[in-house]
Amino acid sequence: MEEIRELGQARPGSIHCLTIIGQIEGHQILPDDVKATKYEHILPTIAAIEESPEVTALLILLNTAGGDVEAGLAIAEMIAGMRKPTASLVLGGGHSIGVPLAVSADRSFIAASASMTIHPVRISGVVIGAAQTYDYLARMQERITAFVTAHSRIPEGRFLRLMSDTTQLANDVGSILSGQEAVKEGLIDGIGTLSDALRYLHGRACELPRQAQE
């Protein structure tokens, strides 16, 4: 039976657990009081998991609070490009860039008490007020929308409408979906717990040897 193990301690048949918590740090370092995930640490870990002969599958635990959009999208692209079975589990919340991270896995789960926050790309701090700035934001939003709709069942038009809703968030634009709503919209595959995610990975891991023989 597969076991959850860290890299370096893995034995044949292990499932690696990767946690992505708090804000996603890019090249700009966040304050010490912000619990953050550094993408430059996550990317080589994903590559090592993919190449490890001992690791059978990857479980991603998510509780995100936004962060660097390009860094988060880079992590999502890495996960989506893996050959090994992957499953994501949203716990607490998936905010902004947490949406593409959640749907990047082969199978996405969300806890019944968790939520997903969808809103447009924005920049905080000093911004150069030029037309190119807004063009850049629009292109970034297009990249995120294309990724999310390609890796989930939510239609592009519906995703854009949820992202542009002005009635749900105070002083902001976007939508907050409960776990059930995220599944109903086709954003997440199903309501689930840790055992559901592991059961899926165990099943996929057992299928791989049979597929190799065929």
pLDDT tens digit sequence for 65-81 = 877 888 889 999 999 99
158-174 tens-digit pLDDT: 999 998 898 887 677 88
CATH number, residue 86: 3.90.226.10
* Confidence band for 1, pLDDT divided at 50, 70 and 90: very low
- Look up the domain containing 168 and give its range: 3-213
Q: In terms of C-beta density within 10 A (0-12 exposed, 13-18 middle, 19 or more buried), how is residue 110 classed?
A: buried
Residue-wise pLDDT for 94-150, tens only, equals 877 889 999 999 999 999 999 999 988 766 555 555 566 667 677 888 999 999 999
User: CA 95 to CA 22: how far, in whole Å?
Assistant: 9
Predicted pLDDT of residue 128: 56
Residues contacting 60, CB < 8 A, separation 6+: 18, 19, 20, 79, 86, 87, 88, 89, 101, 105
66 vs 77: CA distance, rounded Å? 17
Cα–Cα distance between 153 and 169 in angstroms, integer? 24
User: Could you report the per-residue pLDDT of 191-210, keeping only the tens digit for each?
Assistant: 999 999 999 999 987 776 54
How does pLDDT run across 81-105, given as a tens digit for each residue? 999 999 999 998 887 788 999 999 9
Residue 10: count of CB within 10 angstroms of its CB: 19
Please give the single-letter amino acid code of residue 178: S
- Would you please indicate which residues are annotated as catalytic (active-site) residues? 96, 119
Average pLDDT over the chain, rounded to an integer? 84
What is the DSSP secondary structure assignment for residue 30, as one 8-state letter?
P
Helix pair 131-150, 156-163: axis angle to 10 deg: 130
Give the separation between CA 123 and CA 88, rounded to whole angstroms. 27
**The one-letter amino acid at 54:** E
Tally of domains within the chain: 1
pLDDT for res 5: 46
